[in-house]
Structure 1
């Protein structure tokens, strides 16, 4: 059996923990944000989305738009959830060696996720392209993944 390795966590790792905690609040913001869109659309629980059939059958154009925007808000929330676990994993691992850089990238990732969500639900961008305002957050997430891979490589080759 190989000898155990110890990892010293730098004091600055606290920034990583604060950034991760901020992302938990951001997740809650996403969840609460969908509610008013659901109410305006009149989509009852447990339906996750307004179906295309429901939207087409609606004669009120404003109600159709509300249903579409609810779907966009819900999709932005799900996209956040789909990415949150891998973001946190990369943040925690990369932060072991690069705590300040990871935390800064993580904080900007959060800003990008807010822009993604709010852009996706803009009435003047009904084609969904408003989400591209925050799409760059994906690049930060990839950067964190690369940094996490570097940490793993360094541990294996130490």
Structure 2
């Protein structure tokens, strides 16, 4: 049985992970607000295609932004927690950067720009996500090589 000791800086990794939960809450509040403005009743996930008004479009953008968040959060969290085992401060910084990017992605997307292009203001979250995945993979390789 192997045992290991976590660097006290791993607490920053846990705080970065927690920030993703707060961003998820912001998404939920944003989507709910846009649903109310668009008058889209539950259980409808999106405004129907027949609606072309700005409120319906913004709601659909908010809903898609939240869906994209929930598609990415689990793998990002796993990469964050794994990368943080060897690089706690760097991983935490990347985790916080990811959360900031996701927040900006949400606010930009929900502005309702043509084609939802406002989301590009936060698209840099992908750099952090890829970085965390690479760091997690590096940790695995180093562990196998026992370095």
What TM-score does the superposition give when structure 1 sets the normalisation length? Answer: 0.89
> What secondary structure, in the 3-state scheme, does the structure 2 residue paired with 1:111 have?
helix
Q: CA RMSD in A?
A: 1.0
Give structure 2 stretches of 5+ with no counterpart: none
Partner of 1:153: 141
| Partner residue of 1:35 out of 23, 27, 32 | 32
Partner of 1:132: 120
Q: Which runs of 4+ in 1 moved over 6 A?
A: none
Shift of 1:26: 1.2
| Partner residue of 2:86 out of 66, 77, 97 | 97
Separation in structure 1 between the aligned mates of residue 82 and residue 38 of structure 2, nearest angstrom: 41
Shift of 1:17: 0.6
Give structure 1 stretches of 5+ with no counterpart: 57-63
Deviations 1:59-95 (A, max 9, x none): xxxxx11000000000011111000001100000000
Structure with the greater alpha carbon radius of gyration: 1
Partner of 1:50: 47
Q: Does 1:141 align with 2:129?
A: yes
| Partner residue of 2:103 out of 95, 106, 114 | 114
Give the number of equivalent residue pairs: 146
What TM-score does the superposition give when structure 2 sets the normalisation length? Answer: 0.95
Shift of 1:35: 0.9
